Structure 1
Amino acid sequence: MSATLRRARSVTSARRYAVYDVFADQVLAGNPLAIVFDADGLDDGAMQKIAKEFNLSETVFVLPPEAPGHAAAMRIFTPGRELPFAGHPTVGTAVALSDGGQPTDLSILVLEQKIGLVRCAVSREGDAAFAEFDLPRLPERLDCEVDKASFAAALGLGAHEIGFENHVPQLWTAGVPYVTVPVAGLDASARARCDGALWAEIAPQVDGIIADAYVYCRETVGHDCAFHARMFAPYLGIPEDPATGSAAAAFAGAIHHFDQPGAGSHRYWIEQGIEMGRPSRIRLEIDVEGGAITAARIGGHAVKVAEGTLFA
């Protein structure tokens, strides 16, 4: 190693990092997530630059918790901006922190996020780890006046391909806003392409944030899945995301609104990332009482695919 490189490294911090594939039970599938441990001393600008360096859909920075008994505080950055909450970073970080402790069949963790406290449970069967978390905010429907023809144009589809049964486009958020866009089936889903410039013109904004496109249909590839989905977020620097827990959280509202499940607990598997060659499976559970969602949970597997040292 040259003297120049040694001097450069001596004035930076060496921080552990790992990359996990989330919402998949094998490597090189699901949604990759970078996790930077021991992130003390990094300011907002440094975190944003590091997230851009990893260039994954999200990068997590793990910090000491503010409250005793909590596992960690975490901040979540896309290549373009910080998020208050996201699903695959929550699942991946919960599994990673559990990996760092004593192996147990079940671990309960509380993570501090910008949106609030997120309670997670991590369970293990052999080498596979599965994490599930309670939604910190239940889905809320917001006003959306854009017609389906405009959404169809932005997605490269015909207006007749938007919607199925009683499902129509709506705007939902459970911390991050999404336009949930139902399409006729797998063929329409496979042909969808998001025109970032056009989407930015027509998509609604929530607190200054452009809502991303969550395209879904009831036709699926996996026989045990209830929905097939794709998510496009050009505004965040993410042309397409292979698995999106925050979108599934918002989508819980659309499922309840259109399908009107009865009282009790309802489980749905959502497949995503298939068109990208990154097959993912997200488990969504919704508790319904008195015609309303009273609680919901997102779950999925996560596996470590890489680890190393970040000099920043």
Structure 2
Amino acid sequence: MSRRYAILDVFTNTSLAGNPLAIVLDSEGLSDEQMQKIAGEFNLSETVFVFPPENPGHSANMRIFTPKLELPFAGHPTVGTAILMAKERFGEVSNEQDAVVVLKQNIGTVRCAVILRENAAAFAEFDVPSLPEPAGPTHNVELIAAALNLEPTDIGFENHAPSRFRVGPPFTFVPVRDLDALARAKPVQSMWKAGFGKDGHNDAYVYCRETRSHDSAFQARLFAPDMGIPEDPATGSAAAAFAGVVDYYDDLPSGTHHIRIEQGFIMGRPSLIDLEIDIDGGNMHAVRIGGQATLVARGELFL
């Protein structure tokens, strides 16, 4: 049986940058084992499998796999799938075309606003399906530094210290003092579980306040070696959880806060993630993730 697929570069407005994503259309009849093997065959950070919606008000059901396991939610697959679903619906457009795409994921229903543009990268923004929440304590700074090939003095800036938050899968957020420390970070496999835990979601999101562009607020790197992802060029679910970090340490005032995050620059896949946080009366009320994506390939799987 022939099954269509597409490859998109997500969180970028140019091809061969950002985070590549495989999306398998016509996924009906695939078993969990087959989907996991297909994700391993693509060997990208995530592969999406699209199914017809169970609810007629939805655009599609989708499941997300890394090369080693299934995820309940992820950001760059949501942005990429929303844009591809809009392209499937409208085809080539003149000027601009707005669309609303509703995707059912394992975490719940995710609403996405999409803007298709003629001869330009499309943009999608989605409402994060649940607010970030603390995900337990971190290990001590010495173990975290050793797992990242850093010195303990590299860890932390201002009042920021390592923390754990989650929207779906948890992440350990590790602040480092500057771009030099960020560039020197790399996973030390023999120390990874000691620094970040033994469960399947022991991912490290390393970030600093120093950036390449004055329009950005943070630069970050994401390491997930136990998930088969040595480094991820752009991680929307981590950016969603990072809203909890920013709110906790930066004590955001009431209003809507627009925060641009650079990721993937050090590994040669520059990505820009737009994070919006709504604060009212000292409480977080909503989080949104947005970014651009480009379609770079289409093909068929014969399975």
Alignment check: 8 A CA contact 2:149 2:187 kept: yes
Alignment check: 8 A CA contact 1:174 1:246 kept: yes
Give TM-score, length-normalised by structure 2. Answer: 0.96
| Correspondence 1:62 to 2:50 | yes
Partner SS state of residue 266, structure 2:
helix
Q: Distance in 2 between matches of 1:197 and 1:77?
A: 25
Within the candidate set 228, 237, 243, 1:246 is matched to 237
Structure 2 partner of 1:34: 22
Q: Distance in 1 between matches of 2:213 and 2:230?
A: 24
CA offsets per residue over residues 25-77 of structure 1, 9 Å max, x none?
01000000000001001010000000000000000000011101100000000
Shift in alpha-carbon separation, 1:145–1:15, aligned structure 2, 3 A: closer
| Correspondence 1:86 to 2:77 | no
Partner SS state of residue 209, structure 1:
coil
- For structure 2, the residue ranges without an aligned partner over 5 or more in a row are none
Q: Distance in 2 between matches of 1:277 and 1:220?
A: 15
Structure 1 partner of 2:282: 291
Within the candidate set 269, 273, 279, 1:282 is matched to 273
1:1-312 matches, cutoff 5 A: 13-102=1-90, 103=93, 105-126=97-118, 127-204=120-197, 208-312=199-303
Q: Which moved more, 1:130-139 or 1:102-111?
A: 102-111
Shift in alpha-carbon separation, 1:215–1:145, aligned structure 2, 3 A: closer
Alignment check: 8 A CA contact 1:60 1:89 kept: yes
User: How far apart are residue 201 of structure 1 and its match?
Assistant: 2.9
User: How far apart are residue 125 of structure 1 and its match?
Assistant: 3.3
Q: Give the aligned residue type for 2:179.
A: L
CA offsets per residue over residues 126-148 of structure 1, 9 Å max, x none?
32200000001110012214111
The number of aligned residues is: 298
Q: Distance in 2 between matches of 1:145 and 1:179?
A: 7
Alignment check: 8 A CA contact 2:107 2:129 kept: yes
User: How far apart are residue 198 of structure 1 and its match?
Assistant: 1.5
CA offsets per residue over residues 269-307 of structure 1, 9 Å max, x none?
000001110000000000001211110000000100111
CA offsets per residue over residues 176-211 of structure 1, 9 Å max, x none?
110000001000000001123321233246xx5333
Alignment check: 8 A CA contact 1:144 1:204 kept: no
Shift in alpha-carbon separation, 1:197–1:292, aligned structure 2, 3 A: farther
Q: Which moved more, 1:138-147 or 1:158-167?
A: 138-147
Alignment check: 8 A CA contact 2:4 2:26 kept: yes
Partner SS state of residue 107, structure 1:
strand
Fraction of identical pairs, as percent: 57
- For structure 1, the residue ranges without an aligned partner over 5 or more in a row are 1-12
Q: Give the aligned residue type for 1:47.
A: M
Alignment check: 8 A CA contact 2:179 2:208 kept: yes
Q: Distance in 1 between matches of 2:18 and 2:254?
A: 32
Structure 2 partner of 1:6: none
Structure 2 partner of 1:7: none
Q: Distance in 1 between matches of 2:281 and 2:229?
A: 38
Q: Give the aligned residue type for 1:110.
A: V
Q: Distance in 1 between matches of 2:226 and 2:200?
A: 9
User: How far apart are residue 175 of structure 1 and its match?
Assistant: 0.7
Partner SS state of residue 55, structure 2:
coil
